[in-house]
Chain A
Amino acid sequence: MKRILAPLLIALGFSFGSIGLGLAGKMITMKGSDTMVILGQRWAEQYMQKTPGAVIQVTGGGSGTGIAALINGTTDICQSSRPIKPSEKNKMKERYFTQGIEIPVAKDGLAVYVHESNPVDKLTIEQVKLIYTGKITNWKELGGPDAKIILYGRENNSGTYVFFKDNVLMGADFAPQTATLPGTAAVVNAVSKDKNGIGYGGAAYAKGIKECALAEKAGAPAYGPTLENVQSGKYPLARDLYWYFRTKPAGDVKKLVDWVLSPEGQKVVSEVGYFPVKSTKPSADAEK
């Protein structure tokens, strides 16, 4: 046995070592939420400008895709617009023996978009649910024109889709006539061209359309997705935007995280149209 064991171990050691060296690189990769792509790109641009030698690659694909890439080891940072699911945590535990490290890096108000010409400018969460589950189908029922409501939404690998389904539809299914589009920008584009359309997505993308003010329930005050309303918690569809890691950030990745959470990094958040997190450092409970 020794005759075969020793050469095998030596050969494997050499091959593993050389492969490990070959794969070593300084590039930091970020993958995940389409909602956060622009934010991630702005962070990357500014960080690379101020940090000579830093190379950051940012791609989208959806929060679910980003978390899968984190588990597969094909990205260093996952950008996610929803918390990691228990099933994803389990996969992380099976491979890395950690539950993943979660750091909120920005806040977002998930906006409900309608066409600029649409007279409807406020809705309750219940009404939005009834619209997207196909129970309300005409704008007339909401004080608008006598026209069929055209539904636009996201694909199911999107964190925005999951957040909307969990927090607005309360787990119910989307109406089958909901057109699924590959990104928030596509939803905004579709609603801006469809005077009977309705869509949802990050407030940062709300250009050329109108954002509805939202109320928790009938009779309650409605609030728009503004900084004050999102940070105060008055806006009903406020959510955290996260970065996820396999293990505690270290080295170049930790430097990037520290910068993103610094006033300079959080200024980028405001510039893009999202809302800064209140804390400027990783919180003690960041590791959940």
Chain B
Amino acid sequence: MRGLLKAVLTAVLLAPTSLWAQDAATDSLKERMSETADKIAGIEERLGIAETDIAGLKKLKISGYVQARYEYHDDASSAPLQGTVSTSSSNQGKLLNRFFIRRGRVKTTYQATPNALGVVYFDGSASGVSLKEAYVAVTEPRSKVTATLGQFNWLFGYEISFSSSKREFPERARWSRTLFPGERDRGIKLERPFLLMGKYNLTLQAGVYNGNGIEDVGFGVRDPNKWKDFIARAAFGLGHLDFGLSGYWGKQFNPSDSAIPVQRPSTSDKIRYGADAQFFYELPVLGGGVLKAEGVLAEEPKNQSKPFRSLDSTRNAAGLHAVWAQNLKEKFQWISRVDFYDPDRDIDEDHFITYGFGLIYFWDGASKLKLVYELPKSFVNSRSGTVTVNGVKEDEKDNILTLEWVYTF
């Protein structure tokens, strides 16, 4: 009985203590939960701010590429035909081989809304830093018409707007380098894509440009002539076969030229018609390959640096290049090209042909190494302006080996 009494008394005395302890533990737990909830709310708030900031940053894209190059020229007396190094006589005899940065490009794109973007694109190379592109592009969502205003690629042909970071050969074909120096101009263009029969693509483009391009001496401040040049292009994508037709209609002041003894009209027409095609195929084991060809027929103003025989103010030029590229499984690619340019079709034996071949190794998704050998055959001495009229001029020792590392980011 005494034992039972003692146990009951102990239980009665301890009960409140136990309840107090439970209450205290519950209060402590509630307090900690409340603190944790506050912390989570704080983190969520900061996360919300961070997400807003990140969403803003995602609208800004920075991309670009570097082309670091080593060139070996066949003969020290032949100045390089490529690149930005001057081919003046003072440089000849010094340029047996060289390392240089052919292109170092940074492109910033800001797309605040899905239908409008702005682009500023700089190039750093041996000749300094220059503005390559700066434009605003706006798309009207219902009609899908995009208007681009500013400084950007000429919309003529396929290769001109094909990025140097993706092109197989280190330089564009001679005809596009000659007729479209710098590949860019200022103007406005409209384009609209169409889907034909549910699977074929057609893109129509038309643009109005100043006409002389970014390498013109007076380009930075004015349009060197009062006429605007008009370019139109239709590009078809059929899947394995893509092709396009381009037309260019413009005018240009005739350069002063003491070699022409008669008064010439003050302007000359500048008319170009182009066609391009790419055929894609896939071989078992080796992988994909492509055959590309692009040509132009042009009526061009004459100038002092080009040969001429007649007193006409224009000359008829023609250019054509064909590329065969074949993947050798996933890491290697074989490339070859024939590049033809005739600055004046009325003069016999006056043209350039360059054969080129090489190998590209894709190091990873960002970088590739190119080894390219090119053999120019010049049937005119373009540096002195002397024409070789009868027969083929002896092939100059001007072959070039190019080793180029392209890194894109």
Contact = CB atoms under 8 A, between A and B. Distances in A.
Interface string A195-230: 000000000000000000000000000000000000
Given A4-B72, A16-B332, A180-B51, A99 B239 contact: yes
Interface in B280-307: 280-282, 284-285, 287-290
Interface string A4-32: 11001100100010011001000000000
Contacts of B332: 16
A64 B193 CA distance: 22
A103 B145 CA distance: 32
A38 to B, nearest CB: 25
B365 A1 contact: no
Contacts of B193: 86
Contacts of A171: 141
B362 A73 contact: yes
Contacts of B401: 1, 4-5, 8
Nearest to B281: A97
Given A69-B365, A72-B366, A99-B239, 8 more contacts: A1-B399, A4-B72, A72-B364, A96-B327, A97-B288, A98-B287, A99-B280, A250-B284
The number of chain B residues touching the other chain, given as a range, is 35 or more
Contacts of B364: 72-74
A250 to B, nearest CB: 8
B82 to A, nearest CB: 16
A73 B399 CA distance: 34
Interface of B: 51, 55, 72, 74, 113-114, 141, 166, 193, 199, 201, 239, 280-282, 284-285, 287-290, 325, 327, 330-332, 359, 361-366, 369, 371, 373, 399, 401, 403
A98 B333 CA distance: 14
Nearest to B397: A1
B322 to A, nearest CB: 15
A9 B359 CA distance: 10
Contacts of A16: 331-332, 361
B369 to A, nearest CB: 8
Contacts of A288: 199
Interface in A37-95: 69, 71-74, 86, 93-95
Contact of B287 (A12, A69, A247): A247
A20 B330 CA distance: 10
A250 B330 CA distance: 13
A173 interface: yes
B365 A74 contact: yes
A281 to B, nearest CB: 19
Contacts of A180: 51, 55
20 contacts: A1-B72, A1-B399, A4-B401, A16-B331, A16-B361, A71-B365, A72-B364, A72-B365, A72-B366, A73-B362, A74-B365, A97-B282, A97-B288, A97-B327, A98-B282, A173-B114, A246-B330, A247-B282, A248-B284, A250-B285
B137 to A, nearest CB: 14
A86 B201 contact: yes
A236 B55 CA distance: 31
Interface string A162-173: 000000000101
A23 to B, nearest CB: 8
What does DSSP make chain B's interface, helix, strand, loop or mixed? strand
The number of chain A residues touching the other chain, given as a range, is 20 to 34
What does DSSP make chain A's interface, helix, strand, loop or mixed? helix
Contacts, number: 74
B330 A73 contact: yes
A187 to B, nearest CB: 15
A288 B198 CA distance: 12
A248 B365 contact: no
A86 B202 CA distance: 12
Nearest to B199: A288
Contacts of A5: 373, 401
Given A73-B362, A73-B364, A97-B289, A1 B74 contact: yes
B281 to A, nearest CB: 7
A107 to B, nearest CB: 20
Given A12-B371, A93-B280, A73 B290 contact: no
Nearest to B282: A98
Interface string A271-288: 000000000000000001
A98 B288 contact: yes
Most chain A beta carbons < 10 A, residue from B113, B325, B401: B401
Contacts of B290: 93, 97
A93 B141 CA distance: 26
Contacts of A4: 72, 401
Contacts of A86: 193, 201
A222 B141 CA distance: 30
Contacts of B113: 173
A125 to B, nearest CB: 19
Contacts of B201: 86
A8 B371 contact: yes
A12 B280 contact: no
B74 A98 contact: no
Contacts of B325: 97
A171 B113 CA distance: 13
A96 B288 contact: yes
| Ranked 3 nearest A-B pairs via Cβ | A72-B365, A97-B288, A98-B288
